[in-house]
């Protein structure tokens, strides 16, 4: 399998393979030790497998070109991946908490801790390495599906670390109640992470504005044009609205030019401004409405009249 940061689907296929490997390792660790903490950790790996598979499907859909029914493309499909993953995590957390409470009132001795802990540490190493790749790729591609998978994998690493500490504590102290207590804490932590993913997904579906860094770059580019045109005639940019839709970024704004300019001149400058904005913010699509100075768009006038 060829892996490339230029292809998010390759990373998600790798995530599926790693999830299968961790399921085998963690399930074997839970079987050998009879530890509820390690068993709960293995249960979360099944969620990793399901979420990575769904994320791969959504990223494939998001990559489809725009069509007659979806003129703006399919980029928001990635938000469904993040929300679905969050719901799966919450469901796994509820199951883990239920098993932990049952085991808390009926503690059982642990066995073969050395092998169990070793297998858990190995699987956590796989997840940590993959989470690093996911975060790096998510920044490069602005992919919420990769970011969600990376966050989940990182949460799994911290969860496994807590389980290892708890199981080692049982071995050192003989306190069997530590094992279900750690499993309970694992479940609560997983539920918190699932809630964060669902919230982040819902915000994306409601068209969040661009992140502050991109907005700053956009305004800086516009300021350069406004200043450079000061001698020939003033330029004004206003009513700037931005939104994110998966990997795609959008910006709409008004550009006010001197009324004496010809349409050809104004349109040529608009094309130059659009290109500069797309260079300043990679992945941005810009729509600029031309207006003469002293005139505002009809929609803006109506909005102000009703304010």
| Residue range 28-59, pLDDT digits in tens | 887 777 776 677 767 777 877 877 888 888 88
Q: DSSP of 53-117, one letter per residue?
A: HHHHHHHHHHTSPP-SS-TT-STTHHHHHHHHHHHHHHHHHHHHHHHHHHHHHS------HHHHH
The confidence score (pLDDT) of residue 254 equals: 92
Q: DSSP of 277-303, one letter per residue?
A: HHHHSTTEEEEEEEEETT---HHHHHH
Q: Which residue has the tokens 């504590």?
A: 169
Annotation: CATH topology of 212-306: Alpha-Beta Plaits (3.30.70)
| Residue range 242-298, pLDDT digits in tens | 987 766 788 999 999 888 888 998 899 999 999 999 999 888 889 999 998 876 655
Query: In DSSP terms, which residues pair with 285 in a beta bridge?
Result: 250
Provide mean pLDDT across the span 160-175: 75
Query: Residue 245's closest CA among 217, 207, 278?
Result: 207
| CATH fourth-level superfamily of 8-205 | Cation efflux protein transmembrane domain (1.20.1510.10)
Provide mean pLDDT across the span 200-227: 82
Q: Do domains 8-205 and 212-306 have the same CATH topology?
A: no
Mean pLDDT taken over the chain: 78
248 three-class SS:
strand
Taking CA atoms, 186 is separated from 34, 82, 87, 161, in Å, by 17, 20, 16, 10
Q: Is the pLDDT of residue 1 over 50?
A: no
The confidence score (pLDDT) of residue 114 equals: 67
- Percent of the chain exceeding pLDDT 90 equals 10
The confidence score (pLDDT) of residue 78 equals: 74
d(CA 78, CA 72): 14
In the chain, where the domains are located:
8-205, 212-306
């Amino acid at each position: 399998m060829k892996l490339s940061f230029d292809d998010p689907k390759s990373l998600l296929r790798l995530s599926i393979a790693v999830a299968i490997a961790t399921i085998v390792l963690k399930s074997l660790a839970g079987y050998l030790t009879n530890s509820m903490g390690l068993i709960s950790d293995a249960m979360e790996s099944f969620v990793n497998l399901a979420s990575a598979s769904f994320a791969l499907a959504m990223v494939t859909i998001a990559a489809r070109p725009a069509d007659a029914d979806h003129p703006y493309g399919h980029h928001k499909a990635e938000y469904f991946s993040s929300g679905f993953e969050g719901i799966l995590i919450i469901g796994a957390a509820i199951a883990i908490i239920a098993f932990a409470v049952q085991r808390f009132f009926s503690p059982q001795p642990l066995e073969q801790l050395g092998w169990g802990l070793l297998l858990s540490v190995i699987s956590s190493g796989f997840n940590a390495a993959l989470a690093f790749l996911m975060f790096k790729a998510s920044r490069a591609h602005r992919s919420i599906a990769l970011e969600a998978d990376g966050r989940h994998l990182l949460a799994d690493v911290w969860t496994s670390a807590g389980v290892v500490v708890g199981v080692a504590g049982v071995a050192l102290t003989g306190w069997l109640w530590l094992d279900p207590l750690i499993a309970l804490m694992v479940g609560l932590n997983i539920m918190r992470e699932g809630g964060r993913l669902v919230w982040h997904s819902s915000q994306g579906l409601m068209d969040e504005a661009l992140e502050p860094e991109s907005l700053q770059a956009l305004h800086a580019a516009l300021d350069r044009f406004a200043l450079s045109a000061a001698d020939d005639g003033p330029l004004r940019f206003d009513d700037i609205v931005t939104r994110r839709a998966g990997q795609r970024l959008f910006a709409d704004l008004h550009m006010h030019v001197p009324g004496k300019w010809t349409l050809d001149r104004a349109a040529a400058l608009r094309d130059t401004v659009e290109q500069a904005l797309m260079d300043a913010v990679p992945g941005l699509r810009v729509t600029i409405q031309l207006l003469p100075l002293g005139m505002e768009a009809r929609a803006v006038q109506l909005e102000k009249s009703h304010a």
